[in-house]
Chains A and B, each alone.
Chain A
Amino acid sequence: MQFLKNLFSKEPSSGSLAKDRLKLVLIHDRANCNTDLLEMMKNDIMQVIAKYMDIDEAVGMDINIEQTTDDNNNTVPVLYANIPIKNMRKKKKPKK
């Protein structure tokens, strides 16, 4: 009976529901565990961008791992970086 119910109902089975919920919660967990790593990455990204543009260092950079869905509707983690730019073209520093 359960088998027929599953066949005709559009509701996902509780097993696949569990799997989807776990995937979501783990994206969060894994990101939270790596605050050190995130901080190191942030500094590296800042350095690279600063080579080409003027970053507003007073405001600082905001970096985070969030979730989004890809073309196949799977949940995937994305890295969001919010980098305030003062000037698109880097002022050339006077050569010493």
Chain B
Amino acid sequence: MSEVYVVTSGKGGVGKTTSTANLGAGLALLEKRVVLVDADIGLRNLDVVMGLENRIVFDIIDIIQGNCRLKQALIRDKRYPNLHLLPAAQTKDKDAVTPEQMKKLCDELREEFDYILIDCPAGIEQGFRNAIAGADKAIVVTTPEVSAVRDADRIIGLLEAAEIESPMLLLNRVRINMVKRGDMMALEDVTEILAIDVLGVVPDDEGIVISTNKGEPCVADSASFAGQAFRDICRRMTGENVPLMDLDPDKGFFAKFKNMFRK
């Protein structure tokens, strides 16, 4: 049975697009059939984060307006077993789509894919309404900052009003050293405030910038700390029970990895 997820945040720049790219690639590595839909019309970016910007011929508006068939607009990412991207239009504005059209598009995609991940634009206007229209579930991305958490709270309220079943939290860019000395809100603080279930925590990692520079999601990099967090999240999305990773670099996964070389 296929699931349509919207990846949303309210505030811009918290890592929606990067998360969408990594979750999509991670699910594809788990042998799932995945399509990523860039719903940020006018400001498309998922293509460039995925490294597929040179392969765009048609986009989401072309499909909706009937200029091409669905299969023609889907870009297959050859690095993964079954991962596709449906790019946003860059020249049109966000009013070129209606929620009904998005819903119809999602239903068509359900026939071909197990996971449909929609990268939502920032904000709470029409673009947001379109992006959530066809979704069953929502992933709310936020960082442990007052502005991002406040906007996440607003988004959770709007998702609930739109009757999208229990949104899940992805806490991004956690700097464990700052949390340890009390200068950054911890996961527990954020979940206490937002009162939603946790899907995962992703550490702040320079590797993300590097992998985005290259157009290669870090989820495929077995040595990446953030990549490990995204791999865990993907397994949770498939229903596996994976404990939250220990972000402390002195313990947990990364230290084990280092210790292997020390011996």
Contacts and interface: CB of A to CB of B under 8 A. Distances in A.
B150 A26 contact: yes
Contact of A15 (B153, B154, B184, B192): B184
Q: Number of contact residues on A: which range applies? A: 10 to 19
A70 interface: no
A29 B179 CA distance: 26
Contacts of B183: 13-15
A interface SS class: helix
Interface string A13-24: 111101101110
A30 B157 CA distance: 8
Contacts of A30: 153, 157
B153 A29 contact: yes
A8 interface: no
Given A22-B146, A22-B150, A15 B185 contact: yes
Given A2-B181, A15-B184, A16-B182, A22 B149 contact: yes
A25 interface: yes
Nearest to A19: B189
Given A15-B183, A15-B186, A33 B146 contact: no
B184 A26 contact: no
Interface of A: 2-3, 6, 13-16, 18-19, 21-23, 25-26, 29-30, 33
Interface of B: 144-146, 149-150, 153-154, 157, 178-179, 181-186, 189, 192-193
8 A-B pairs with the lowest CB-CB distances in the bound complex, closest first: A13-B182, A19-B189, A15-B182, A14-B183, A15-B185, A2-B181, A18-B146, A15-B184
